[in-house]
Amino acid sequence: MSTGRILVVDDEPQIRRVLRTTLSAQGYEVFDAKTGEDALLAIRDQRFDLVLLDVNMPGMGGLAACREIRSGSDAAIIMLTVRNSEKDKVTALDAGADDYITKPFGVPELSARIRAALRRLPAAQGSEDELIRLDGVEIDLNMRRVRKAGKELRLTPKEYDLLHYLAANPHTAIPHTKLLQAVWGPDYGDQVEYLRVFVNQLRKKIEPDPSRPRYLLTEPWVGYRFDPPAR
């Protein structure tokens, strides 16, 4: 049985009812909201591990709600939508989502996506590079914290896990597929757009000049490489 608190946000009562029943049967503690506004109120009052968030809702849409949730919460977010273009996926990820699932979807696919969104890389275990210093940025792999100019940076769980994996394997070109499977899980491997979005987000947070990265480098046709300065 799985564990965790999930908030289902969808304006269709039947979808909320089905997801509540299905996920409760898997061991999750499930709550629901019918609008983005209601979701924000719930998140202010309670802690959730994951939010299933419909894109198309009356009032505050799912993308706006995702941005608001992400600004103050590190809960995993999976967007639910009927659209399946790469542009729509990138828009959802840019808004702060960890993953994206297209309606209609089956229970096995949804369950796998939830497990992937909730999985976390373990803290570093005795690595000689537990504390990595860049230009004014300090990455603490043991504490899962990143500070810039002494202030803690807010990273989403997947942003941190991606940075963690790259930082734990410095000066090494890591293929897209290996990165996706390490951070999201074995069912991932072709979602290169996920990496583009998350690497761009990380560059904005830790690079002195995100348009000319020094540490999070692209390896053309291969993947990405973390290149910290020599000690």
Distances (CA, A) of 177 to 11, 37, 92, 171: 35, 37, 21, 18
Half-sphere exposure of 2 (CA within 13 A, CB side): 22
Task: Return phi, psi of residue 189, to 5°.
Answer: 170, -25
67 or 154, which is more confident?
Answer: 67
106 contacts: CB under 8 Å, gap ≥ 6: none
Q: Is the pLDDT of residue 166 over 90?
A: yes
pLDDT at 124: 58
- Predicted TM-score (pTM) above 0.85: yes
Instruction: Tell the residue number behind the tokens 């000690």, with chain if given.
Output: 231
Instruction: Give the pairing of strands 99-102 and 76-81.
Output: parallel
Q: In order of start, what are the domains of the chain with their CATH numbers?
A: 5-118 (3.40.50.2300), 131-226 (1.10.10.10)
Rounded to 5°, angle at Cα 76 from 73 and 80? 115
Tell me the sheet residues that pair with 5: 29
Give the list of residues 6+ apart from residue 140 with CB closer than 8 angstroms, or none. Answer: 130, 131, 146, 147
The CA distance from 135 to 81, in Å, is 40
- pLDDT category, 129, cuts 50, 70, 90? low
Q: What is the pLDDT of residue 24?
A: 96
For residue 128, pLDDT beyond 70:
no
Q: Of 74-78, 152-156, 216-220, give the lowest mean pLDDT range.
A: 152-156
Angle, CA of 113, 115 and 117, to the nearest 5°: 70
The secondary structure of 195-216 as a DSSP string is: HHHHHHHHHHHH-SSTTS-SSE
Considering only CA atoms, which of 7, 13, 15, 12 is closest in space to residue 38? 7
pLDDT in tens, 7-54: 999 999 999 999 999 999 999 999 999 999 999 999 999 999 999 999
Q: Quote the CA–CA distance of 189 and 177 in Å, as a whole number.
A: 4
User: How much is the pLDDT for 72?
Assistant: 87
| pLDDT of amino acid 230 | 74
* SS3 label, residue 192: helix
pLDDT of residue 21: 95
pLDDT single digits (tens) 190-206: 899 999 999 999 999 99
